[in-house]
Amino acid sequence: MSNMQIEQANGKLGILTPGMGAVATTFMAGVLAVRKGISSPIGSLTQMGTIRLGKRTENRSPLVKDFVPLAGLNDIVFGGWDVFPDNAYEAAMHAQVLDKDLLNEIKDDLEKISPMKAVFDKNYVKRLNGTHIKSEVNKMELAEAVMRDIEAFQTSNGCDRVVMVWCGSTEIYIEESEVHSTIEKLEEGLRNNHEDIAPSMIYAYAAIKMGVPYANGAPNLSCDVPALVELSKQTGTPIAGKDFKTGQTLMKTILAPGLKARSLGISGWFSTNILGNRDGEVLDDPDNFKTKEVSKLGVLEHILQPDKNPELYKDLYHKVRINYYPPRGDNKEGWDNIDIFGWLGYPMQIKVDFLCKDSILAAPLVLDLALFLDLGKRAGMKGIQEWLSFYLKSPQTLPGLPPQHDIFIQLKKLENTLRHMMGEDLITDLGLDYYEED
């Protein structure tokens, strides 16, 4: 049992998002609507979830937000960067996720959130033609400019603390290389404009260097390199990534653990999507899609462990497709065909047709990640926060450790981390009463 020293969440918390598109504006508008009492934060564990404490007979299940000292929604200030100059109201109208009526009720507050100029290079996101971008050409100077932005934001908004959550586009696929291996090499690479340092890594460097907690909602490398993990430990910064777990992958990590738990075999899992938002347009480019594909494909392998269960999963054929289809906008449709087999190898099929709203699923994750990272920082936690894997499609782990994808194990890890922070017993679900004498 431990009772960590956790600083109270006094004062204002700034949540900064590089990228103010569909996800970020749905998140901001949602929090503002909840604050006004015109909507509910559904899908957010920090706001609506409860956590069981002690023995079942004790009947203690407080709301998560009443159990751990999180920043309150009224104390949040929003900010961000984008390659387009639209304020959050205009960007949310463009994204067409939320009803116009709802957006008009919070228009005044949304209009006040204007993006700062972005660190952007079209070579990394080919389908975007941004104009609202910083003029520095040197990557280290760009990182310094982001640090100045953070400082200026914090001062002008009177924020006690700041966190950053990447909500920008998916960049082209970049493999981890030498330049990412140590802080010194990364800093040299920034000064020499190394091509393996994408804009999302420049923001991540700036945040982590300043001790600002950083979460990565896209599959970009960003903070998932040894240099930035090392820096995060040096500067006492909690970090988490990669890629918000929503839509089809969320379903996959709910279904696959159940099939495995019953020792049912799987011979194939074909997943395809149509979506028509800007994210879909960016992902229509093969180089950008590759980054997403890698993030989506790892999930089943780690949950099913074909090496340990060869008869059930070694021949599994896994395919993931994303198709850009403008008429749908943010209303994605994801189909899964799952070929399974049971007793004596008899085949069966499962079909999933998920008509989801991507940003509606992603927005609460931005909130929870921001609030939990801020909590972690106040509790003195630093480096990769594996307990936040619950929210991520391709969880960042310590070197050599496999990621945990099973959503139920992820939840248990998250809850036990909160219990540990607050000095409560960890829950193992072992029913000791079976062994007790009458």
Ligand X SMILES: NC(=O)c1ccc[n+]([C@@H]2O[C@H](COP(=O)([O-])OP(=O)(O)OC[C@H]3O[C@@H](n4cnc5c(N)ncnc54)[C@H](O)[C@@H]3O)[C@@H](O)[C@H]2O)c1
Contacts with ligand X by CB under 6 A lie at 18-24, 81-84, 95, 118-120, 125, 128, 130, 167-170, 199, 217-218, 243-244, 246-247, 277-279, 282, 358-359, 361-362
- Give the Cα separation of 306 and 298 in Å (integer): 12
218 and 243 in contact (C-beta within 8 Å)?
A: yes
Least distance (Å) between residue 59 CB and ligand X: 36
For residue 312, which of 379, 343, 267, 353 has the smallest C-alpha distance? 267
Least distance (Å) between residue 419 CB and ligand X: 28
Least distance (Å) between residue 109 CB and ligand X: 19
Least distance (Å) between residue 217 CB and ligand X: 5
* Residue in the block written with tokens 């939320």: 98
- Conformational region of residue 94, where left means phi above 0, alpha means psi within -120 to 50, and beta covers everything else: alpha
Please, which residue, 265 or 276, has the CB nearer to ligand X?
276
Please, which residue, 160 or 285, has the CB nearer to ligand X?
285
User: Which of helix, strand or coil describes residue 307?
Assistant: coil
127 and 282 in contact (C-beta within 8 Å)?
A: yes
Residues 6+ apart with CB under 8 A from 258: none
107, amino acid identity = K
- Give the Cα separation of 367 and 17 in Å (integer): 11
Least distance (Å) between residue 265 CB and ligand X: 29
Please, which residue, 21 or 395, has the CB nearer to ligand X?
21
Q: For ligand X, which residue has the nearest CB?
A: 21
47 and 41 in contact (C-beta within 8 Å)?
A: yes
Alpha helices in 36-156 (DSSP H): 45-48, 64-67, 88-95, 100-105, 107-111, 139-156
Least distance (Å) between residue 252 CB and ligand X: 13
Helix, strand, coil proportions of the chain in percent (round to 5)? 45, 20, 35
Please, which residue, 95 or 379, has the CB nearer to ligand X?
95
Q: How many helices (H) and strands (E) does the chain have?
A: 16, 11
- Give the Cα separation of 231 and 183 in Å (integer): 7
Please, which residue, 149 or 415, has the CB nearer to ligand X?
149
Least distance (Å) between residue 391 CB and ligand X: 10
- Give the Cα separation of 395 and 389 in Å (integer): 5
Least distance (Å) between residue 423 CB and ligand X: 34
Please, which residue, 331 or 397, has the CB nearer to ligand X?
331
In the numeric block, which tokens belong to residue 79?
A: 């900010």
Please, which residue, 190 or 422, has the CB nearer to ligand X?
190
Please, which residue, 83 or 150, has the CB nearer to ligand X?
83
For residue 52, which of 434, 432, 424 has the smallest C-alpha distance? 424
Please, which residue, 95 or 266, has the CB nearer to ligand X?
95
- φ and ψ at residue 213, rounded to 5 degrees: -55, 145
Please, which residue, 23 or 418, has the CB nearer to ligand X?
23
In the numeric block, which tokens belong to residue 58?
A: 């004790």
395 and 404 in contact (C-beta within 8 Å)?
A: yes
Least distance (Å) between residue 164 CB and ligand X: 11
Least distance (Å) between residue 328 CB and ligand X: 13
